[in-house]
A and B are shown apart, each in its own frame.
Chain A
Amino acid sequence: MSSSWSIYIIVLTAVMIVGSFLLLFGNRTRPADSEAKTGHVYDGIEEYDNPLPAWWLYLFVITLVFAIGYLIAYPGLGSFPGMLGWSQTGQWQAEVDVAKARYEPVFAKYREMPVEQVAKDPEALRMGQRIFANNCAQCHGSDAGGARGFPNLRDGDWIWGGSADAVRTTLLHGRQGAMPPLGQVLGEDGITNAAHYALTLSGTLPAGAESAAGEAAFKSICASCHGADGKGNQMLGAPNLTDDIWLYGKELETVKHGIRNGRMGQMPAFGGQLDADKIHLLTAYVLSLSPAR
């Protein structure tokens, strides 16, 4: 706020308060013998212009005195910050501090515990579930069963690795899964053949002429990420194509679409909004979802 605006608001507020005082006390009495009326007439009924009863008058006075006190104590007069130094962010920080102090013992209990052990603690898992519901369920589903394009976290199949460290890294820093578009490289027939070949790896489609034609292209292009045997590469986030788990669906057209146009999978980083204690609990919760290895 520029200082001229600030002064404008201060002057306006002061004039309003003083004006209210003057208005209030200017109308306090009326001449003894006058039958002053307000001039309002409703159906022939007129209204006396009587002063306010004392209790009412003093209620107004109290509000005015309160206003002055409030404007001194709290921000309100232009850019004057108030004597108490109150601010919205200050209040927010105070509430956060209170919450931190309150939940600190709960988090401290699990901080030194290895993730694998936390994943077996029912109390910790309930907390983990609540953190999951607030932050992860939007994409992965409340039951962590995933959705088209968002991995199922309960099937034991990991694109970026299922160790505690890998999951923690995923949560903290996010992941960028990039399948490059190969439409230009392969041509439409090449796409069809490569898709057939990819689908035979998991037995989703039986082997045939098209898959045989696609094998060479797969070995030369796709294998650099998905591996010669199609088992994928967790370092690159290249999915295993042999396990009949399909992130975007296993229909032929869907797979062809993926080869032609590529896929961009994005897991956002949560290191910025969840502190280490919550990431710890969340890691344990996510690990607890997988079938025992």
Chain B
Amino acid sequence: MSEPERIPVHSFAPAEVGEIDLYQKRERIYTRTVEGFFQRLRLYTGWPLLLGYFCVPWLQWDERQAVWFDLPARKFHILGLTFWPQDFPLLAWLLIIAAFALFTVTVFAGRVWCGYTCPQTVWTSIFMWAEQVTEGTRNQRMRLDQGPWTANKILRKSAKHGLWFGVAAATGITFVGYFSPVRDLVVALPTLQANLWEVSWSLFFTLATYINAGWLREQVCMYMCPYARFQSVMFDQNTLIVSYDSKRGEPRGSRKHGEAAREGLGDCVDCQLCVQVCPTGIDIRNGLQYQCIGCALCVDACDSVMDRMGYARGLVRYTTENALLGKPSRLMRPRLVGYSAAVMLMIGLFVTVLLSRVTVGIEALRERGQLYRESADGSIENVYTLKLRNMSQSAQRVRVGVAGIEGMELLGDTAPRLEPGEVLALPVTVRVARGNVKGGKDIVFDIVAQDDPGERSSAESRFLAPTGP
């Protein structure tokens, strides 16, 4: 922090001890709209993501939804890929990669995730826009809230909440649409044909969106989100953060437009615009605070004022603590390089694993009821139930084999056809001439797709036989 002694300390100690409210009351934040480079950047990065969220469930792929997380069937379809519960580690790795990518970005540029792409921010902005449309600008909203309940106020308020609920319902239903085919869902919900789960989850996500983006807003970031609290361990003196250049700005003070800076005054005209545009209601001039989500709206606000005053832009800007202190600032540093390398490596491995995924699978369950049996000719038989999986999206004919013992025979349907997504329980008998095995021996079942010998998998089991002659 740069020279904190310049920032006046305000005492909020109560004048007299009365009924103290122990918990902070939320002060309603009325954000002023602002236009500028970062606001546009946010708009242009946010809209494609938002459109993606709402449109992706409507894409079709071979007679089914292209992205469909089918929980009852335990199958996640993403375009041409179908993921099974066996692929769960992939999801874990994907989340780990996402976490590391977040760390990398945080080390480099602070909480840009929060400011630009976090759903909490994006939906809050949509709701603020709805507020702007129905209740007017910041000043109009404040007047409306303070004023009496007139017909106009009731109309505007109900229009706002109606709009909020509309957006929230679209969000909630779309979310459920990723899990329950959206084309059926949008028909089933209004005609009351949807099942209890679809209805209750749609309602839940609608309400959650409405409450989060409409009422809780910055409180989610301040009190609920863990990322806000552990950001400080990822920040260092070379992390890009939204900062007020107090060296240049202080001492702040208002002045007439066009008037040259009065003797001793810094560039900050103390217009409070940076405070009014802040979605979390903080004053960036107090330095880096945990509430700051790095959205840079204050940068846009300040730049517009600097332009009008004829001062250079960048009194509030993305910069590093080192730069503010006049020290050399190094963006590329071992920590950032290390994080980036780790993310790149993990993405490479992930893609490799994803591409080399085998679509046939086999499990061997040894018969529990008996050790072995003798057939009429005296040879020894063991029974297994093979679980054969076809994880691809087309039917496959496979070949099943067994190895491990000289002259062993596999009896049963060794060339079954597996429907797409089928798990076939196939009982088989393994026969070995008496005396070839004493006691027991490990064997290996394998499965090969007949059309593609690269698609193969195997499972170990054990063959048991009498220990005697």
Contacts and interface: CB of A to CB of B under 8 A. Distances in A.
Given A133-B385, A141-B383, A142-B383, A147 B370 contact: yes
Given A133-B425, A249-B374, A143 B383 contact: yes
Contacts of A33: 17
B395 to A, nearest CB: 14
Interface string B309-337: 00000000000000000000000000000
B425 A130 contact: yes
Nearest to B17: A33
Interface string A144-166: 11111000000100000000000
B20 interface: yes
B12 interface: no
A148 B372 CA distance: 10
Contact of B23 (A54, A146, A148, A155): A54
Interface residues of B, number: 23
Given A33-B17, A244-B376, A245-B376, A141 B370 contact: yes
A50 interface: yes
A142 B375 CA distance: 15
Interface in B387-421: 411-412
B373 interface: yes
Contacts of A143: 383, 411-412, 427-429
Chain A interface main SS type? loop
Interface centre among A53, A137, A244 (most CB of B within 10 A): A137
B18 interface: yes
B22 interface: yes
Interface string A172-198: 000000000000000000000000000
Contacts of B18: 32
Contact of B22 (A51, A141, A145): A51
A101 B369 CA distance: 34
Contacts of B367: 137, 141-142
Interface of A: 32-33, 50-51, 53-54, 129-130, 133, 137-139, 141-148, 155, 244-245, 249
Given A32-B19, A143-B429, 11 more contacts: A32-B17, A32-B18, A53-B23, A129-B427, A130-B425, A133-B385, A137-B427, A141-B427, A142-B383, A143-B427, A143-B428
Nearest to A244: B376
A53 B429 CA distance: 67
Given A143-B412, A245-B376, A137 B23 contact: no
A238 to B, nearest CB: 19
Given A138-B369, A146-B373, A133 B427 contact: yes
A53 B425 CA distance: 56
B245 interface: no
Interface of B: 17-20, 22-23, 367, 369-370, 373-376, 381, 383-385, 411-412, 425, 427-429
Contacts of A148: 370, 373
Contact of B20 (A32, A145, A245): A32
The 6 closest A-B pairs by CB, nearest first: A142-B427, A143-B427, A147-B370, A143-B429, A53-B23, A142-B385
A142 B369 CA distance: 9
B223 to A, nearest CB: 10
Nearest to A52: B23
A150 to B, nearest CB: 9
Given A32-B20, A133-B385, A133-B427, A145 B373 contact: yes
A147 B20 CA distance: 81
A6 to B, nearest CB: 31
Contacts of B412: 143
Contacts of A54: 23
A246 to B, nearest CB: 8
Contacts of B425: 129-130, 133
10 contacts: A50-B22, A53-B23, A129-B427, A137-B427, A139-B369, A141-B427, A142-B383, A144-B427, A145-B373, A249-B374
Nearest to B412: A143
A52 B22 CA distance: 9
A147 B19 CA distance: 83
A155 B376 CA distance: 10
Nearest to B424: A126
A50 B17 CA distance: 16
Nearest to A133: B425
Nearest to A33: B17
